[in-house]
Amino acid sequence: MLKKRIIPCLDIKNGQTVKGVNFENIRYAGDPVELAKEYVKQGADELVFLDITATIEKRKTFVELVGRISKEINIPFTVGGGITMAEDVGALLNAGADKISINSAAVKNPGLINDLAKNFGSQCIVLAVDTNIVSGQWMVFVNGGRIPTLKKTFEWVKEAEQRGAGEILLTSMAHDGTKKGFANELTKMVGQNVSLPLIASGGAGTENHFRELFEKSNADAALAASVFHFGEIKIPLLKNYLFQFNIPVRI
């Protein structure tokens, strides 16, 4: 049985790790290089690094920072933010990233998924999906959750899989930063629409929230930020807790 993955997320703004609530009210959470090193020591399975204002500010992800982080860690490392073309992906992979995450650019130009999968392989293409309910339907948002689109979430993940995406990073905007639990029903429904590995994000507050996610949905991984950054949950203790409930994790 495949192990469930625990993944800290480093949201980056101005070279520092930050965290907000419902994609707003940003506060600083520390140096990304030092945090990355600490998460390797704690036993994180992977890291995700998202330059959260790159798309809004129309600039590229910090390639230099990616290089510094990659030199300090030995676990898989996904990078996203401001990626719009193959050259961006090549630069990030050369800097040490293992996978890249695309969101806004893929929504605006779905063919980008095909191009990147063809050039770099589906295994390193993660589609990030920021979603919220609009008029009773789960809809996709772009530009760091600021702009709603006309894309329906379940249709979009299916299309992305067909185009060559290798993994889905799903964030419920209504749950993000609230620490009230993951969007388990949403995650379950998305998992029923695709056969890709699925990372759930948004809402982690307690160890029990991670257990409920894995028991009530078919998520392959759980991603969280503030509960890890501020020491509210320690990854080794979380994994031991999950193991006690027969959830397969890498100890």
Query: Which is it for strands 137-142 and 125-134: parallel, antiparallel or unpaired?
Result: antiparallel
- The single-letter DSSP state of residue 123 is G
pLDDT in tens, 84-131: 899 999 999 999 999 999 999 999 999 999 999 999 999 999 999 999
11 included as an active-site residue: yes
3-state SS, residue 120: helix
Closest by CA position to 140, among listed 109, 173, 101: 173
Closest by CA position to 18, among listed 235, 234, 229: 229
Handedness of CA 212, 153, 127, 81 (dihedral sign): negative
pLDDT for 18 beyond 90: no
Q: What is the band of 178 on the pLDDT scale with cuts at 50, 70, 90?
A: confident
Choosing from 45, 51, 130, 220, the catalytic residue is: 130
Choosing from 11, 45, 88, 220, the catalytic residue is: 11
pLDDT of residue 180: 95
pTM for the whole thing? 0.91
CA distance 129 to 152: 11
Query: Which has more confidence, 21 or 84?
Result: 84
130 included as an active-site residue: yes
Domains belonging to the chain, first-starting first, are: 5-244 (3.20.20.70)
pLDDT in tens, 131-167: 999 999 999 999 878 899 999 999 999 999 999 999 9
CB half-sphere exposure, 177, CA atoms < 13 A: 12
Q: Which amino acid is at 60?
A: K
pLDDT in tens, 2-14: 899 999 998 887 7
